[in-house]
Amino acid sequence: MKRRMKTLDITYAAMFVALMAIGANITSWAPFLEVAGIPLSMQPFFCILAGILLGSRLGAISMFVYLLVGVAGAPVFAQFGSGMGAVLGGSGGFILSYIVTAFVVGLIVERNEKPGLATFMTASFVGIILIYVIGTTYMWFIVNNVAEGNMSYKAAWGIMAWFSVKDLVFTVICAMIAPRLYYTLNKTTNISHTRRVA
């Protein structure tokens, strides 16, 4: 049983690493998903879903593996980027935020024995808030202290406001489909969510 659980863990984690890579560059395969010049990245959606379905520990591990794969040189970041340069750049905070977000989202779900729509909605919105706070603050810091630019914190949030609408829509969709996916996954694996990630 332990061997089977480890195999499932690896499979689920690898699946979300792949989904994150696809989500980062989805407009490369589907250009019609770019609205007003803004690419509709699916990364926040998949990150939050990883926390919900995999739990805090495995969800965070899958996001950490995604980070390592990109740092190692695989073109899995946005615009097929890779390496430490992408992490240390302006958008690097979002990559780092995915680890924290998946963990916190998973923790919120795990605290409820039988989570319902309200729990998934709360977890999803806490997740998207974390992604934006960490990512935007990091971007503002890099621009002003590394790139030697001059951007106010308000201006940084103004830039991210263009992306927030699509991410809020995806967050609601994520919360709506999460209950069915969550309970179907638990049923097919025949083990409880808490035990599976412990």
The H or E element containing residue 35 is: strand 34-35
Q: How far apart are CA 18 and CA 75, in angstroms?
A: 11
Residue 167 corresponds to which tokens in the numbers above? Answer: 């991410």
pLDDT at 29: 64
State the amino acid at position 164 in one-letter form. S
pLDDT confidence of 5, banded at 50, 70, 90? Answer: low
Q: Are 3 and 9 in contact, with CB atoms under 8 Å apart?
A: no
pLDDT at 162: 80
- Residue 34: strand pairing partners: 39
pLDDT at 148: 79
Q: How far apart are CA 153 and CA 143, in angstroms?
A: 10
How high is the mean pLDDT of the chain? 87
Q: Has residue 103 got a pLDDT over 90?
A: yes
Is this model's pTM higher than 0.75 or not? yes
pLDDT confidence of 32, banded at 50, 70, 90? Answer: low
Mean pLDDT of 169-198: 76
Mean pLDDT of 46-68: 96
CA angle, residues 23, 133, 90, in degrees to nearest 5: 65
Walk me through the domains of the chain, giving residue ranges and CATH numbers: 2-24+42-197 (1.10.1760.20)
- Top pLDDT among 33 and 59 is at 59
pLDDT at 191: 44
Q: Are 76 and 69 in contact, with CB atoms under 8 Å apart?
A: yes
What is the share, in percent, of the chain residues with pLDDT greater than 70?
Answer: 85
Helix axes 92-110, 117-145, angle to 10 degrees: 160
